[in-house]
Amino acid sequence: WRIRENLQEKSQPQAVKAMHKAIKEVTEDIECFKFNTAIAALMEFVNVIYQSAADKEVYQNLILLLSPIAPHF
């Protein structure tokens, strides 16, 4: 919830880079049924978002990546 409250107009480059890395890792891990490593990649992504600014696009991609693991969000 804190991420949603602290959205910025534009993401920092670290957040965008981490987003693309997380998309790749989570997609590959879920296809191979490696759910633990997919969750670990999401945790790394969230840590980068906390350290830098995130915009609406980064936030939406985080929610989409979380949806197979935590559909109630």
- pLDDT > 90? residue 30: yes
* Average pLDDT across the chain, whole number: 90
Q: Which tokens go with 52?
A: 């830098």
Banded pLDDT at 7 (limits 50, 70, 90): confident
CA distances in angstroms from 56 to 2, 9, 21, 39, 49, listed in the order given: 13, 8, 17, 21, 12
Q: What is the distance between the alpha carbons of residues 34 and 49, in angstroms, rounded to a whole number?
A: 23
Quickly tell me which residue has 């109630």 as its tokens.
Answer: 72
**Whole-structure pTM value:** 0.85
